[in-house]
Amino acid sequence: MTEKVSLSYKGKTYEYSTITGSENEEAFDISCLRRETGLITMDYGYQNTGSTKSSITYVNGEQGILRYRGYSIEDLAEKATFPETAWLLIYGELPTEEELTVFRRLLTENSLVHANLLHFFREVPPSAHPMGILSSVVNALGLFAPKYYDAETDASELELMITALISKIRTIAAFSYKASIGEPFVYPEANRSYCANFLNMMFSSHTKPYVVNPIMEKVLNTLLIIHADHEQNCSTSTVRMVGSSQANLYASVCAGICALWGPLHGGANQAVLETLIRVQKSGMTIKEVLEKAKSKEDPFKLSGFGHRVYKSYDPRAKILKGLMEKLFNEEDSQDPLIDIARELEHQALQDDYFIERKLYPNVDFYSGILYRAMGIPTNMLTVMFAIGRLPGWIAHWKEMHNDPQSKINRPRQIYTGPSQKKWIDRNLRG
């Protein structure tokens, strides 16, 4: 028998049915709450609000579990490729060999951006933040694909649009970097993997030979898989929010990129590296960093620590820490920031403030160090996150469009402004 939740209000009792997910997580359905009682719910930051049912990603924050379509993040990070993972998230199952071959071919064939867009990269100031460039160019892609504006876009057109976007996002990221350092663009090459192509577009140049390091290619593949989805996080909810008005995929993803940019979300990876560099350069001690993070007078937070859902170690951070140890112990890589990061983590995990609030390293704590080892500049770290997260955004946008229960997202509010005021004619000019 399904459990019911009772609510008593103004002498009446109302009953609401419960919904149970496939991992036994529970909700109660308040869709008719306002109609029946006149009440709305208030939930700052949506800490207790389920906005949808979804079959894409499962997160258990207490036990540190993350699965895409049933597959553990540990297995995917070790054994899958990023294109395979993207397909899994978007279409629900791992691709067959044939599907993967076609997908890879389409990724290659759709990797270029329209030549008219190249002016944009050259005209923005070199100091422009790469997240601003990425969001603008992704939105502009829609202007070059007018048939995709149609809400009636058929399935094969949509598939092509999705593949093209996954391919072009890495070209846009690499071109924005080349433009910022005043170097000519390096075009994608058909015979390279998704990750090798990106590294080549970033670091190959006409003056310096560049050979893609297969270890870095593998590290990048793992990082992109780890970023690929995380259920109803801020940027994904933004994509769903914008998409719920039937805005096109480019506009919805552009909004997601902007949401990811913030330092409380994907922008945290840039902030982590900046903190580590600050400790290295200024001589500030780790104890001072922690005191600053704990102080209620200081807006500074220890970026890369804490998570809305994970109240134990983020499984993604665990994988990245292992990858970092492997890269820097077994390979010939070195970075003085690693010792600072290790010590910062060690001291934070022993500090009562962090213990009481269950604040553990999140995915952003170690990702920046790994990207740095590849040569990715600090201001591009969040762009890397966006490249990884794109399949998740697309999967959610598609799931929402195919869900007959989905509606335009439109929360309510409790108005706290003045009551009606009488207009007094003031006879002012202007």
Nearer to ligand ACO, 296 or 410 (CB): 296
Estimate the crossing angle of helix 130-141 against helix 155-180, to 10 degrees. 150
Is 357 a residue that touches ligand ACO (CB under 6 A)? yes
Which range binds ligand ACO by CB under 6 A, 25-33, 173-181, 184-192, 302-310?
302-310
Nearer to ligand ACO, 308 or 342 (CB): 308
CB of 85 vs ligand ACO, minimal distance in Å: 17
Which are the catalytic amino acids?
Answer: 307, 364
Estimate the crossing angle of helix 82-91 against helix 97-109, to 10 degrees. 110
The DSSP annotation for 346-402 comes to HHHHHSHHHHHTT--B-HHHHHHHHHHHHT--GGGHHHHHHHHHHHHHHHHHHHHHH
CB of 389 vs ligand ACO, minimal distance in Å: 9
List the one residue from 85, 244, 248, 362 that touches ligand ACO (CB under 6 A): 362
- Which stretch of DSSP H or E encloses residue 71? strand 71-72
Tokens 């998704």 correspond to 194
Q: Do 284 and 291 meet the contact criterion of CB atoms below 8 Å apart? A: no
Is 303 a residue that touches ligand ACO (CB under 6 A)? yes
CB of 223 vs ligand ACO, minimal distance in Å: 12
Q: Which has the closest alpha carbon to 108: 169, 190, 28?
A: 190
Which range binds ligand ACO by CB under 6 A, 65-73, 106-114, 248-256, 258-266?
258-266
Is 299 a residue that touches ligand ACO (CB under 6 A)? no
Which range binds ligand ACO by CB under 6 A, 135-143, 250-258, 361-369, 375-383?
361-369
CA gap 176, 270 in Å, rounded: 17
Binders of ligand ACO among residues 222 to 251 (CB under 6 A) are: none
Q: Which two tokens stand for residue 177?
A: 């970097």
List the one residue from 308, 311, 318, 342 that touches ligand ACO (CB under 6 A): 308
Nearer to ligand ACO, 22 or 47 (CB): 47
Nearer to ligand ACO, 164 or 363 (CB): 363
CA gap 310, 359 in Å, rounded: 8
Is 306 a residue that touches ligand ACO (CB under 6 A)? yes
Is 359 a residue that touches ligand ACO (CB under 6 A)? yes
List the one residue from 64, 95, 188, 304 that touches ligand ACO (CB under 6 A): 304
Give the pairing of strands 57-60 and 71-72.
Answer: unpaired
List the one residue from 11, 38, 45, 336 that touches ligand ACO (CB under 6 A): 45
Is 292 a residue that touches ligand ACO (CB under 6 A)? no
- Which stretch of DSSP H or E encloses residue 209? none
365: exposed, middle or buried (C-beta count within 10 Å: 0-12, 13-18, 19+)?
buried
100: left (phi over 0), alpha (psi -120 to 50) or beta: alpha
Cβ-closest position to ligand ACO:
306
List the one residue from 66, 363, 394, 395 that touches ligand ACO (CB under 6 A): 363
Is 391 a residue that touches ligand ACO (CB under 6 A)? no
CA gap 57, 403 in Å, rounded: 16
List the one residue from 87, 148, 177, 305 that touches ligand ACO (CB under 6 A): 305
Nearer to ligand ACO, 47 or 329 (CB): 47
CA distances from 94 to 53, 103, 400, 430 (A): 21, 12, 20, 63
Q: Where on the chain is the footprint of ligand ACO (CB under 6 A)?
A: 45, 264-266, 268, 293, 301-308, 357, 359, 362-364
